[in-house]
Structure 1
Amino acid sequence: MRPNDRRETVLIIKRKKRNHHHQQFIFNNMFNNPVCSDHQQAMAERVSLSSMLAKSQNDLPAKRMKDSYLEVHLPLGSEPQLREKYLTFHNTVRFGRILEDLDSLAVLISYSHTYNAALKRSPLSIVTALVDKIDMRQHIIYPDCDIKFTGHVTWVGKTSIEAKMHMSQYRDGAYAPVLDATFVMVARDPENKRAAFVNPLKPEGPEDEKLLQEGEANKSRRVDLSTASLLKVAPTDEERKIVHSLFLNTLDTKTVSFRSRVLPPNSVWMEDAKLKGLEICHPQERNIFNRIFGGFLMRKAYELGWANACSFGGCRPSLVAVDDILFQKPVEIGSLLLLSSQVCYTQGKYIQVRVHSEVFDPLSRQHNTTNVFHFTFTSDRDLFGCVSLMLCRQAKNSRYFQIKSPR
C-alpha cells in the first residue's frame, strides 16, 4: 500500500530487535519507491521478483508470533496538525481514518511475518481479503489523546494470514483498550495474479497455542457461514416462521391482497431506510498495484453507513462492531464507485447497516460488486422497527437472516 498524499500521517513504529535492513525492507514493500514514480516501470521491476517466490510452504522457515509483533503510535495528543486530519464535526475521532490505519498496519504485520533478511525487496504482494471482525471496547475515541496500535500474526494457512490488532488510547495516565480487530490477508505473486506461499507459524507457549486454535476456529466458522448461505441452503423452519410472521404483520386484513400492505406501528419500510453515494476513484487513493486502497473503501462505506444510521435513528449513533467486510474484486482507478447503504435489522437501541459497493462501467453499462460491509451501531434511545416491503424477495430475506442469526 502507498501512503495517502493528502494525509501525511505521522506514525511512530516500534518493534523489538528491529534493524535498519528490516525497516527498509518493510517500507520498500509498503510504499512506492520515489525513484520509480512511473507505475509501469515500478510494476516491470516487480515482475522480476517472481523468481524469488517459494515453490512450496515447506521451503520457507517457520516464524514465531513475536517475529511479526508491531507497536505503532499515533500522536494525536502531541501533534495538533495531525489531529486536525482525524477530527469529526462532533470533536471526536473519525473512525474511517482508523479503518485506514488498521488496514495499513495489517499489511505491515504480514510483511513482517514474511520478512527475509536475504532479500532487499519482498516478492510477495500482500492484500486484504477480509475484515473478520472489529469489536469496540469503548464508544468514544478522544481527539486529544495519543493512540497506540499493537498487533501480530495469530494464524496462517498456506497463502493466507490472520492478523490480530488492538487499539488503546492514553488517558488519565494509562492506556485504555478501545478496540480489537481481526483481519485476514492473502499473499499474491508480484503481479497480484496468483496466490503465493507464506511462512508457516510456530507457536511458543500456551498463549500462542490458544491464539492459533482461535485462528483455526475462525477459519472453520467462516467456512460454515459460507456453506449456510441462503444462496446455497433453503431457509430453516425458524426462518420460514419469521418470514410468515412478517408477512402477517404487514397484511391488510380488509383486502387480503399482496398489493395492499400495512405498516406495523413504530416501524419503517426497508425501502425508506436507504442511503446511497457515489465516489469517483482518483489516483491519489491508489496502492502500488495502481488500484484503490482498501482502507479508503472502508472509510467511505463506514461514513455512508453511519450517515444512514444517523438519518434512520434521528440521533448520533455509536459504532459497536464491524463484521465480515469481504473484498471480492479490486477497484480500478477512474472507476465510478456506487455505494448503497441499507438498514437491515433493528432491536432495541441497536441498528444493523449493510453497505454494498459496486463499480459501474459507463461504456459497457455493467455493474460489478466489489465489497460488502456490515456495521452495527447503537443509539441513545429505542428505535423504529425495519420491515421489508417485499418479503418474497430473497435478497431482503437473506439480509435479514444473516444479521439476525448468531455468529
Structure 2
Amino acid sequence: MDLNSSPNNTISVNSTFTSPSSADAKSTSRRPIALWPGMYHSPVTDALWEARSKIFERLLDPPKDAPPQSELLTKTPSESRTTILYNFSSDYILREQYRDPWNEVRIGKLLEDLDALAGTISVKHCSDNDFSTRPLLLVTAAVDKIVLKKPISVDIDLKIVGSVIWVGRSSIEIQLEVTQSSEEGSNASDVVALTANFIFVARDSKTGKAAPVNHLSPETEQEKVLYKEAEARNNLRKRKRGDAARREFDNGEANRLQTLLSEGRVFCDMPALADRNSILMRDTCLENAMICQPQQRNIHGRIFGGFLMHRAFELSFSTAYHFSGLVPYFLEVDHVDFLRPVDVGDFLRLKSCVLYTELQNSDQPLINIEVVAHVTRPELRSSEVTNTFHFTFTVRPEVKASNNGFRIRNVVPATEEEARRIIERMDAETSS
C-alpha cells in the first residue's frame, strides 16, 4: 500500500477524558447529542466521528422521501485514503489508554480502532456529496484476516493507513496497515507491524436491500495489483461458500475424525489411562456474558463490529493464558464473517475454547482459539450465532525461556462435532 496520503486526510489522535458532546459545550452551535450515539469511544473512534460529523448529520437526518443516488461515481483509492496518527511519544494520557501489562499496545483496542477507521473509509468512498439523496448504510460484513508482524510498542508513535482497494456491486474491501518506527529517533524507518482487510456491504437506508456502490479506478501499479488480489480473494470466498454447502466427509476425512476421537474416547471411558500431555477440548473453555448497552452502539443504533472483536480478542487471550500457564503472544485473526447484527439490549454470550494446538515447532508452539458469539433470547428460548472468531497465539519467547518446565498440551475432541470443527479449521488454515 502507498503510505503517502494528503494532509487533509490525516487524523491526529489525542487522549480523551470528557465526552465528545461536552468538549464543545462553549461552542455557539453545540452538536446534538444524537451525533454521539454512545460514550464507549476510544480516542480514535472519537477522532473519526469528528472527522466525518457532517456525513453523520446527513445520515441521522436525511431529507424526507429523498431519492437514492442516481448515478454512480468513479473514485480512486487516494480519495478515500486516510491516516491515523497516535502520538504515543508525546501524549502520556494516550499511552495509558492503550498500554497493556507488557508495555505494548492493547490489541483489542486496536482491533476496535481498525473497524472504526475502515467504516470511515467506506463512508468516504460511497459518499456522492449530494445532500438531496439518501445515504447508504454501510456495515461490516467480514474481516478477511488480521496479522501481527511485530510487537507494537506503546512508547513509539503509531500510524494506521487505510484505503479502498476493491469494490464489487455492493461490497467494498478496505486494506489497513499499522506501521511503527523500528526504533526511536528521527532517522528511524517505519515498518509494517500489522495488516488487516475489512469487507463492508452497502444497504439502502430505506429498503434495507443491497445497494450499488461507487466504482473504483486504481491509478498506480501497486493499486492495480491490490485490486486484482482482492478480486481473487472475493472469487475464492464465493467458491468456498459453495463448497461448504455441498461438503460431505469422504473416507479420508472419516479416518481423520476417528484418529482425533480415539484419544478423546480414552479420556471419557478410561480417564486414569489417558495421556497426561493431552486435555479434552471441553476442559479448555471459558465464557463471558453481557447485555449490550447503548454506550456500545454505532450510528445505526447497532453494536460496533469493533466492540465485538475487542471483547472476543480479550476472551481468547485469557483462554490462551489460562490454558498454557504462560503469557500468550498474539499472531493473527483468521477470516471472520458477521452473520447477523447485534442490537442494543441483546443478551450476548461469548464462548471460547482451545480448538487445537500445533507443537511441531518447539520454539513457536501455536494455540488456536475459537470464540463463538451467540445472541441469546431467554424469553423465546432461542440462541443464534452472530460471529465465529479464530485467533492464533504463541507464547512470549522471553517468558518461555524462563520456564524450563514449559509444556503445552495437545487438545483432543470428545465428540464427532468437535472433531469436525477441528478438521474444518485445519483445512481452512491450509488453504488460506
TM-score category by the smaller chain? 0.7 to 0.9
CA-CA distance at 1:243 after TM superposition: 1.4
| Structure 2: segments with no counterpart, 5+ residues | 1-34, 360-364, 401-406
Aligned to 2:67, the other structure's residue is in SS state helix
- Verify: 1:341 aligned to 2:366, yes or no: no
Q: 1:301 matched to which residue of 2? A: 312
The 5-angstrom pairing of residues 256-275 of structure 1 reads 259-260=269-270, 263-275=274-286
- Verify: 1:204 aligned to 2:219, yes or no: yes
Distance 1:85 1:128 in 2: 25
Q: 1:399 matched to which residue of 2? A: 421
| Structure 1: segments with no counterpart, 5+ residues | 15-22, 37-41
Q: 2:69 matched to which residue of 1? A: 53
69, 76, 79: which one pairs with 1:64? 76
The 5-angstrom pairing of residues 101-120 of structure 1 reads 101-119=113-131
366, 373, 386: which one pairs with 2:389? 373
- Verify: 1:149 aligned to 2:160, yes or no: yes
- Verify: 1:214 aligned to 2:214, yes or no: no
CA-CA distance at 1:137 after TM superposition: 1.0
158, 173, 180: which one pairs with 1:162? 173
Distance 1:82 1:367 in 2: 39
Percent of matched pairs sharing the same residue: 32
Q: 2:210 matched to which residue of 1? A: 195
Distance 1:125 1:335 in 2: 21
Q: 1:330 matched to which residue of 2? A: 341
Read off the aligned partner of 1:388 and give its amino acid letter.
P
Label 1:318 to 1:120 Cα distance change in 2 as closer, same or farther (>3 A). Answer: farther
Distance 2:99 2:332 in 1: 21
Distance 1:363 1:250 in 2: 36
Tell whether the 8 Å contact from 2:284 to 2:353 is kept in structure 1 after alignment: yes
Please say which of residues 142-151 and 396-405 is displaced more in the overlay. 396-405
CA-CA distance at 1:177 after TM superposition: 1.4
Structure 1 runs of 4+ with >4 Å offset:
1-4, 10-14, 257-262
Tell whether the 8 Å contact from 1:147 to 1:168 is kept in structure 2 after alignment: yes
Distance 1:212 1:8 in 2: 31
- Verify: 1:388 aligned to 2:413, yes or no: yes
Tell whether the 8 Å contact from 1:11 to 1:74 is kept in structure 2 after alignment: no
Aligned to 1:182, the other structure's residue is in SS state strand
Label 1:13 to 1:357 Cα distance change in 2 as closer, same or farther (>3 A). Answer: closer
Please say which of residues 317-326 and 183-192 is displaced more in the overlay. 183-192
Distance 1:175 1:3 in 2: 35
Please say which of residues 111-120 and 397-406 is displaced more in the overlay. 111-120
Distance 1:315 1:131 in 2: 28
Q: 2:238 matched to which residue of 1? A: 223
- Verify: 1:9 aligned to 2:43, yes or no: yes
- Verify: 1:241 aligned to 2:241, yes or no: no
Label 1:246 to 1:53 Cα distance change in 2 as closer, same or farther (>3 A). Answer: same
Read off the aligned partner of 1:268 and give its amino acid letter.
I
Q: 1:99 matched to which residue of 2? A: 111
CA-CA distance at 1:25 after TM superposition: 8.4
Q: 1:177 matched to which residue of 2? A: 192
Q: RMSD of the TM alignment (CA)? A: 2.7
CA-CA distance at 1:191 after TM superposition: 4.6
Q: 1:19 matched to which residue of 2? A: none
Label 1:197 to 1:49 Cα distance change in 2 as closer, same or farther (>3 A). Answer: farther
- Verify: 1:362 aligned to 2:378, yes or no: yes
Taking structure 2 as the reference length, the TM-score comes to: 0.80
Tell whether the 8 Å contact from 2:350 to 2:373 is kept in structure 1 after alignment: yes
CA-CA distance at 1:250 after TM superposition: 4.3
- Could you list the per-position Cα deviations for residues 331-375 of structure 1 after superposition, in whole angstroms to 9, with x for gaps in the alignment? 111111100001111102101111101112232121121111111
Tell whether the 8 Å contact from 1:337 to 1:357 is kept in structure 2 after alignment: yes
- Verify: 1:132 aligned to 2:157, yes or no: no
Distance 2:46 2:384 in 1: 38
CA-CA distance at 1:285 after TM superposition: 0.7
Distance 2:65 2:180 in 1: 40
Label 1:385 to 1:25 Cα distance change in 2 as closer, same or farther (>3 A). Answer: closer
CA-CA distance at 1:62 after TM superposition: 1.6
Label 1:24 to 1:4 Cα distance change in 2 as closer, same or farther (>3 A). Answer: closer
Distance 1:91 1:271 in 2: 33
